[in-house]
């Protein structure tokens, strides 16, 4: 029996993981659900939560987009082995925020997976606050929108629910998709049409790897909150997305999250594990961000 797959796309910081959490908490399905998480960086911060939850099997594919030719072959092999081993009833895949999903059809038409998996629905989240940022990556965002069955305009609480401009832009890019408004990825998740069988055929091909850099900061030592703020002030102009766990000097830990220049810190009680902060942006290749971070510790 063929396994349905829900694909969750959206640009960096749009709220994909929040939506995924909401979906899993509110789905009516009692099926054996497996999760696929694709991270542009070499580590997956969000995967920790799902790995600690025995309810789900998790397949991580890091260090690039699975739709890029550099990873596609190995991803298909890994996904086939994953499906054969765990025999899930349903798959939910959270794509990298920098992914171009126009090549998703290659996955389902591959000899290893053809007939085993079918695309049931494509969700795309749009950051209502930052959708105009990074014009150099606008085409990548449009590809994500064009492949979507349901588009969620997320973070509407941060724009005073004024979404007319973004809704018009979305309808221009994809007039056929459902449009929903949400906060923290919370929307209705049932009763929608199945995924389109045909993807846009007017593209010359999926986009390659974007001209951005992924950096992982290893927080081996604790840092004062004031010094962390200074470090972030130094690098945030080049940041697109940031997320991770860091230890403080007092022994506590925090969860750091940022979208462009907006950063938030959340205390994490009883945190165990090493500190790691993922930064994605247009950093200067001559700067060693790990050394700069260590200097602030």
The owner of tokens 């022994």 is 251
Q: Report the distance separating Cα 92 and Cα 285, nearest Å.
A: 35
Dihedral of the alpha carbons of 262, 22, 278, 12, in degrees to the nearest 10: -60
- Which tokens in the block code for residue 281? 């942006």
Same-domain pairing of 264 and 135? no
Whether residues 122 and 255 share a domain: the answer is: no
* pLDDT in the model for residue 153: 96
Beta-carbon contacts of residue 288 (< 8 Å; ≥ 6 apart): none
Domain termination residue (choose one: 140, 158, 181): 181
Query: Over the chain, what is the mean pLDDT?
Result: 82
158 in the same domain as 36: yes
pLDDT at 201: 43
Number of structural domains (the chain) is 2
Per residue in 36-84, pLDDT tens?
Answer: 988 765 555 555 556 555 578 999 887 666 777 667 788 899 999 999 9
Q: Look up residue 269 and give its two tokens.
A: 């009680």
Q: C-alpha distances in angstroms, 91 versus 1, 103, 209? A: 13, 18, 25
Same domain flag for 174 and 254: no
The residue-averaged pLDDT of 176-190 equals: 88
**pLDDT in the model for residue 295:** 92
* CA-based nearest residue to 231, from 275, 185, 196: 275
149 alpha-carbon distance from chain centroid: 17
Quote the pLDDT of residue 31. Answer: 72
Q: Are 123 and 27 in contact (CB under 8 A)?
A: no
pLDDT higher than threshold 50 for residue 197:
no
Scan for tokens 């908490």, then name that residue: 25
Among candidate residues 131, 258, 126, 257, the one with its CA nearest the CA of residue 182 = 126
Query: What local confidence, expressed as pLDDT, does residue 93 receive?
Result: 92
pLDDT score for 64: 67
Q: pTM for the whole thing?
A: 0.72
Domain extent for 239: 213-296
pLDDT at 210: 63
Confidence band of 182 (pLDDT split at 50, 70, 90): very high
Nearest Cα residue to 79 out of 63, 96, 92? 92
Residues 109 and 36 in one domain: yes
Residue 211: what pLDDT? 65
* Same domain membership, residue 254 and residue 162: no
Task: Note the pLDDT tens digit of each residue in 76-98.
Answer: 999 999 999 999 999 999 998 88
Establish if 110 belongs to a structural domain: yes
In a domain, 63, yes or no: yes
Q: Do residues 88 and 12 both lie within one domain?
A: yes
Whichever domain contains 10, its CATH number is 3.40.50.300
């Amino acid at each position: 029996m063929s396994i349905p797959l829900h694909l969750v796309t959206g640009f960096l910081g749009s709220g994909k993981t929040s939506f995924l959490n909401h979906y899993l908490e509110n789905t009516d399905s009692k099926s054996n659900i497996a999760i696929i998480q694709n991270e542009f960086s070499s580590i997956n911060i969000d995967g920790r939560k799902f790995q600690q939850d025995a309810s789900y099997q998790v397949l991580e594919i890091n260090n690039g987009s699975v739709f890029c030719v550099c990873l596609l072959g190995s991803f298909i092999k890994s996904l086939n082995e994953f499906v054969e081993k765990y025999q899930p009833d349903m798959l939910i895949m959270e794509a990298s925020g920098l992914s171009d999903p126009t090549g998703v059809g290659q996955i389902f038409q591959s000899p290893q997976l053809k007939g085993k998996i079918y695309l049931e629905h494509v969700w795309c989240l749009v950051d209502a606050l930052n959708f105009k940022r990074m014009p150099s990556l606008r085409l990548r965002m449009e590809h994500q929108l064009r492949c979507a069955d349901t588009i969620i305009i997320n973070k509407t609480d941060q724009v005073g629910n004024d979404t007319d401009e973004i809704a018009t832009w979305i309808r221009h890019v994809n007039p056929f998709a459902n449009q929903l408004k949400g906060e923290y990825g919370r929307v209705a998740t049932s009763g929608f049409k199945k995924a389109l069988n045909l993807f846009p055929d007017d593209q010359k091909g999926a986009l390659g790897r974007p001209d951005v850099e992924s950096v992982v900061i290893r927080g081996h030592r604790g840092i004062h909150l004031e010094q962390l703020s200074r470090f972030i002030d130094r690098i945030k102009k080049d940041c697109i997305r940031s997320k991770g766990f860091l230890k403080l000097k007092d022994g506590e830990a925090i969860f750091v999250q940022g979208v462009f220049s907006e950063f938030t810190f959340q205390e994490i009680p009883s945190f165990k594990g090493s500190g790691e902060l993922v930064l994605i942006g247009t950093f200067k290749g001559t700067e060693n961000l790990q050394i700069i971070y260590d200097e602030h510790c």
